Amino acid sequence: MFVYFITMTEEKKDTEQTIKEAAKKIFLVNGLKGARMQAIADEAGINRAMLHYYFRTKDKLFEVIFSDAMTEMNQRMGAIITSDLPILKKIEHFVHGYSESAISNPEFDLFIINEFRQNPTYFDEMMKTSNAGTVIKGFASEIEKAIDKKEIVGNPNQIFLSIIALCIFPFAAKTMVRTMLGHSEKQYTKLLEERKDFLMQFIIKAITP
Amino acid sequence: MFVYFITMTEEKKDTEQTIKEAAKKIFLVNGLKGARMQAIADEAGINRAMLHYYFRTKDKLFEVIFSDAMTEMNQRMGAIITSDLPILKKIEHFVHGYSESAISNPEFDLFIINEFRQNPTYFDEMMKTSNAGTVIKGFASEIEKAIDKKEIVGNPNQIFLSIIALCIFPFAAKTMVRTMLGHSEKQYTKLLEERKDFLMQFIIKAITP
DNA sequence: GTCTATACTCGGATAGAC
DNA sequence: GTCTATCCGAGTATAGAC
């Protein structure tokens, strides 16, 4: 009897984890509205009813997946930004770190941009409660300080916006850019790999006095 | 009888145009799948059945709206890029021209990025048949020539990608960036206005030898 | 051309047997 | 915990009266 209970618990954990991984995959590609419970079930190798048994509703499942993804993201970015380094080094770390994580998670950027757009108030709330807001504001204020110290030149918000644009856009608009350039998947991956170094040159030239 | 016929024709044209404008508005914000026929009907001040009477299906309506929007876009961009100017002037015109058109049509960028992603083959085809491909390739090859002539430095594809990233991202990711910066709609609009000039400084510094 | 009513399909959610 | 069957709402599309 006891053994049976343990087994059930472990199986439950496994199934829950399997569902989460499947759901993450499907939600990242299709968004909340675009994702189909059937697709998640197929991906997890179970049937739809199981999804509801474990997570009650589609919205609740999404909520879990999404806050997990955000937490993971914040931790990664936070570690880079809050490190104790001169501004150019910090930007370099940010650019490299961001590119690395985006390469292994290429759907994330466009997903976030779209979900933000569709539910601004939800994210507004989240920015206040999570540490994402702190991390970003920290980075922005570091840029501001560096401008005051004449280490770099320009408007802080514009510089911040430009850095994230240069990092994020190639992933968010991947399909569009690939089509525009007429690149294969492989060619474009190479472009993104090489971009890590290109970007540092580009950004440093643009913002040093 | 003749008068009646004319009237019908004109009314048909008006209704058709009204529907198109309403559909454009709704599709741009919600995408093909996200848009509701009821929302388009409401926007146009008619009922759903009329939409089907004029355009048969949702997909067909979308197709019409979409190719119109692309054509308009291509013409605007084409005029800027194919003008006979030195490369830095041409980039300046592109940046300003793009920003202007994006400010008056802020939903367009994210819409295109998403629809591209959801139907890559359709766009692949369109790039070949329309003049969009030619326009883009023209711009890219101008950059390449300028690099050969040592007027600017860097990898042509990376430079092209960087320029469009800097232009498009602030509009495509508007809601996200606004939330990140904690800006009001008004503050963000001001940022975008000022960005036109900031960007030229930024880009020129980054790519001149 | 325009409207109302209705058919049909898809997808999320629940009931109930095992 | 897991499955099958079923419900129910939403949304596209059509029929048919005017």
What pLDDT digit, counting tens, does each position of B123-152 carry? 888 778 777 778 888 888 899 999 999 999
Cα–Cα distance for residue pair A164/A157, rounded to 1 Å: 11
Structure tokens at B11: 């009314």
User: What is residue A3's predicted lDDT score, i.e. its pLDDT?
Assistant: 43
Q: What is the pLDDT of residues B170-185, one digit of tens each?
A: 999 999 999 999 999 9
- Give contacts of A182 with chain B, Cβ < 8 Å: 133, 137
Question: What is the identity of the amino acid at B158?
Answer: Q
Distance B52 CA to D14 C1' (A): 9
Map residue B131 onto helix, strand or coil: coil
Write out chain A residues lying below 8 Å of B206, CB-based.
202-203, 205-206
DSSP B130: S
Please say if the pLDDT value at position B6 is more than 70: no
Going by pLDDT thresholds of 50, 70 and 90, the confidence category of residue B13 is low
- How many whole angstroms separate alpha carbon A124 and alpha carbon A159? 22
For tokens 């206005």, name the residue. B193
Give A201's contacts in chain B (Cβ within 8 Å).
154
Contact A40, A22 (CB under 8 A): yes
Chain B residues 41 to 60 whose Cβ lies within 7 Å of strand D are 48-49, 52, 56-59
Mutate: best of A81, A147, A179, partner B, most B CBs <10 A:
A179
What number is the average pLDDT over the span A120-144? 82
Average pLDDT over residues A144-168: 97
Residue A59's nearest nucleotide, by CA–C1', is: C12
B73 at A interface, C-beta within 8 A: no
- Average pLDDT of the residues in A105-127: 90
Percent of chain B whose pLDDT exceeds 70: 94
Q: H helices within chain B, ranges in order?
A: 2-34, 37-44, 48-55, 58-81, 87-104, 108-118, 120-129, 132-148, 156-172, 174-181, 185-207
Instruction: Let me know: does A131 contact A74? Beta carbons within 8 Å.
Output: yes
| Residue-level pLDDT at B12 | 55
pTM score, whole prediction: 0.93
Cα A57 to Cα A69: distance, rounded to the nearest angstrom: 19
Cα separation, B191 vs B108, in Å, equals 19
The arithmetic mean of pLDDT across residues A8-26, rounded, is 83
pLDDT tier, A122 (very low <50, low <70, confident <90, very high otherwise): confident
Structure tokens at B186: 């008004």
B161 and A179 in contact by Cβ < 8 A?
A: no
Nearest to A166 among B162, B177, B182 (CB): B162
Q: A172–B174: do the CB atoms touch at under 8 Å?
A: no
CA nearest to B122 within chain A = A179
- The residues, any chain, with a CB within 8 Å of residue A50's CB and separated by 6 or more, are A15, A19, A41, A44
Residues 36-75 of A with CB under 7 A from strand D: 46-50, 53
Is the separation of the CB atoms in B195 and A158 below 8 Å?
yes
Is any atom of nucleic acid chain D found less than 7 Å from the CB of residue A140? no
Q: Closest protein residue to D11 using CA and C1' atoms?
A: B36
Mean pLDDT of chain B: 90
- Any chain A CB within 8 A of the CB of B164? yes
Coil, strand or helix: which one is B149? coil
Give the separation between CA B106 and CA B192, rounded to whole angstroms: 11
Taking the CA of residue A20 and the C1' sugar atom of nucleotide D8, their distance in angstroms comes to 27
Would you call B169 and A170 a contact, using CB atoms and an 8 Å cutoff? no
> How many CB atoms are closer than 10 A to CB A42?
14
Residue B70 CB partners (closer than 8 Å, separation 6+): B126, B130, B132
Q: Taking 60 as the threshold, does the pLDDT of residue A2 lie above it?
A: no
Which of the two residues, A28 and B71, has the higher pLDDT score? A28
| Whether the predicted pLDDT of B4 surpasses 50 | no
| A176: nearest CB among B112, B158, B182 | B112
Task: Report d(CA A51, CA A24) in Å as an integer.
Answer: 13
pLDDT at B130: 74
Q: Over 90: is that where the pLDDT of A21 sits? A: yes
Q: Is A122 on the interface with B (CB under 8 A)?
A: no
Cβ of A180 within 8 Å of Cβ of B113? The answer is: no
CA atoms within 13 A on the CB side of B82: 13
Give the pLDDT band of residue A13 (cuts 50, 70, 90): low
For residue A119, the surrounding DSSP H or E stretch is none
Q: How confident is the model at residue A33 (pLDDT cuts 50, 70, 90)?
A: very high
- Across A54-73, average pLDDT: 93
- For the record, the structure tokens of A105 come out as 């998670």
Give the closest residue to A94 by CA, choosing from A159, A149, A186, A29: A159
